[in-house]
Amino acid sequence: MAVIKSEMAGTVLEVKVKSGDSIKAGQEIVVLESMKMEVPVMASHAGKVTEIKKQVGDFVNEGETLIELA
């Protein structure tokens, strides 16, 4: 199981994938808001989304798991 983690602290502004989606490396999957800036989170590798750990409005810290991949 692979995971996509947050690279910075912020609030989840948008989740661009849903459970069951196949994603490609480099695909934008989540948008965080940090210090009034929108920061895209890109997939570091390809896979199938098995679980979305954070939802819109959730605060995340650096290193927290956002999405699990199979």
pLDDT at 49 (0 to 100): 98
Question: Cα–Cα distance between 11 and 26 in angstroms, integer?
Answer: 21
pLDDT at 1 (0 to 100): 83
Count of other CB atoms within 10 angstroms of residue 24: 11
- Hey, where are the domains in the chain? 2-69
Say which CATH topology domain 2-69 has.
OB fold (Dihydrolipoamide Acetyltransferase, E2P) (2.40.50)
- Sheet with 47-52: strands ordered across: 2-5, 65-69, 47-52, 22-23
Question: Cα–Cα distance between 34 and 25 in angstroms, integer?
Answer: 23
Q: Which pLDDT tens digits describe the chain residue by residue (70 residues)?
A: 899 999 999 999 999 999 999 999 999 999 999 999 999 999 999 999 999 999 999 999 999 999 999 9
pTM to 2 decimals?
0.91
pLDDT at 13 (0 to 100): 98
